[in-house]
Amino acid sequence: MVLFLLFPVWTSSPGSEGTIHRLYSLFLYSGPAENPESGLWTFWPYFVSGAFAFLAIIVSLIEIFSYKNRMTQIKMGALNSLLLAGALISTVWFASQGQQEWIQSNPGNYSMGIFFPPMSIVFNLFANRFIRKDEKLVRSMDRIR
């Protein structure tokens, strides 16, 4: 999810006046491709996707370091799945809204950043599955004693 914060999610090609639109997880950049300092940086409401991603990163770190309590890890994994789904849904929503808005002047396409939230969801599901499997194994060993 750290890579999701760094890479663009949606990018438009330069229009007739040479402007581009780039949607990142935290902001939308609209302006000339040659001089990024002179463009417009819009944070509201686009930072919502980045906020979901940042919270997912924090929850993931807490989940990783609470390895002594697997039930807490399972709960954190469920919360993390919700946060990751929120990041993905909000990102796709903002990208589709931008694409509808600028499709006439600047056709665009999804960039590399759109693939990181689904990958994170899949990896989180794998982690939750194996944590449950480990908890089941520990409980079965307790019954043998």
Does residue 98 belong to any structural domain of this protein? yes
**pLDDT range class, residue 106, cuts 50, 70, 90:** low
Residues with Cβ within 8 Å of residue 115, at least 6 apart in sequence: none
pLDDT in tens, 49-63: 999 999 999 999 999
Does residue 26 belong to any structural domain of this protein? yes
Parent domain of 24: 7-144
Does residue 134 belong to any structural domain of this protein? yes
CATH of the domain at 105: 1.20.140
Total domains present in the chain: 1
Does residue 2 belong to any structural domain of this protein? no
Does residue 106 belong to any structural domain of this protein? yes
pLDDT in tens, 109-132: 889 999 999 999 999 999 999 999
Does residue 1 belong to any structural domain of this protein? no
Q: With a cut of 70, say whether residue 10 has pLDDT above it.
A: yes
What is the C-alpha separation between 143 and 108, in angstroms, rounded?
A: 59
Q: Which residues pair with 11 in a beta bridge?
A: 22, 109
